[in-house]
Amino acid sequence: MKKELIIAIGCDHAGTDLKDILIEYLQAKGHTLLDKGTHGHASVDYPDYAHPVATSVEQKEADMGILICGSANGVCITANKHAGIRAALCWKNEIAALARQHNDANIIGLPARFLSEEEAKACVDTFFTTDFEGGRHQARVDKIAC
């Protein structure tokens, strides 16, 4: 995986604080962040922010993506409607590694209500530094698209 990435990031109201923390954290590591919102705590609809992140990755404007909401289920479901997107809900460092190694995931979904700041940082660090293993996993990934 490249050291410096262009990362699209988006969230709903439940993920705003974690999004801002991760933007600062990842920019300090030399990554470029494309902030797709939201920018406040007022209730919003998560698809309005998941679609722009998925589109950025789908159209190769971003190398990878981060989506954050309360559970991360809604943002992952939404992003996975896009061709070529493999959004994985990650709540543990080991899950983030497997999402990359076995599934070639290109968007990490983080459940803001169930992760500490440190757990979220560990998950994104692992996600962005772990390579897809290919091999027997490639045939499985090839069967995902409809």
Residues with a catalytic annotation lie at 69, 102
Q: Is 41 left (phi over 0), alpha (psi -120 to 50) or beta?
A: alpha
The two structure tokens encoding residue 38: 């939201």
Name every residue whose Cβ is closer than 8 Å to that of residue 45 and which is 6 or more positions away in sequence: 12
- Count of beta carbons in the 10 Å neighbourhood of residue 67: 29
Residue type, 119: E
Distance CA 96, CA 93 (A): 5
| Helix intervals (H) in the chain | 16-28, 47-58, 73-79, 93-103, 117-129, 136-142
DSSP 104: -
